[in-house]
Amino acid sequence: MLDTVIFDMDGLLIDSEPLWFEAMQEVFEKQGVSLTKELASKTTGLRTIEVVHFWHRYFDWKNVSQDEIADDIVDLVIEKIIASATIMPGTHEILSFFKAKNVKMGLASSSPMRLIKASLQHFQLEGYFDGLYSAEFEAYGKPNPAVYLSCAEALGSSPLSCLAFEDSINGMIAAKSARMKVVVVPEPHNNSNPKYVLADLQLSSLTEFTELHWQQLSVL
């Protein structure tokens, strides 16, 4: 029986993935690194510091530490979210749907906690959640299940009673590895990726989720 719902944030609730790319591109360009959208897609769902580590292995810039680069990216993403981000279609509706059911609600994100809190506060979404958890506090980020397991533990929930909502393959793998049910809402350009077959349900938008889906997932 499902009694807990855990959401990812970037690209699922908030349309921030393009802003992450813009911020990474701008910060990396200062180090002489040209990052294309195709290259950036390889690190979708990873923590910021893991993204920086990943590209440092290839481009090996000098003079500026990886931690400084990661902090600059996060600072710039926060600025961009506050200036121009929008919430994804269906965000308020699905959060209200589960709030009305009185299930526990958590957020498990690869983003640093300061970005999570700034984003939720900006869009006035913080009141929906019983707990927030960032993978920055884990030894490993997604696709490792640690952030999902820690979020479930903080909520006092068994992973087997949790339903996770994700948009990325790394996030889906993390939640499935935690033994949770998973609904995926991929980006349109990635909608046909066969890896999403691992999910329990795939949707094109959060607006498509219905009471019937909830009932079906609860008994699977």
Catalytic residue IDs: 8, 10
CATH 3.40.50.1000 segments of the chain: 4-15+86-219
CATH code matching the domain that covers 17-84, chosen among 3.30.365.10, 3.40.50.720, 2.102.10.10, 1.10.150.240: 1.10.150.240
> Mean pLDDT, to the nearest integer, of 123-147?
95
72, pLDDT greater than 90: yes
Peptide bond preceding 143: is omega within 30 degrees of 0, i.e. cis? Answer: yes
Report the distance separating Cα 76 and Cα 91, nearest Å: 24
pTM for this prediction:
0.91
The HSE-up count of residue 68 (CA atoms within 13 Å, CB side) is 8
User: What is the architecture, at CATH level 2, of domain 4-15+86-219?
Assistant: 3-Layer(aba) Sandwich (3.40)
Q: What is the DSSP letter of 9?
A: -
> Mean pLDDT, to the nearest integer, of 96-122?
96
- 178 vs 35: which has the higher pLDDT: 178
13, pLDDT greater than 80: yes
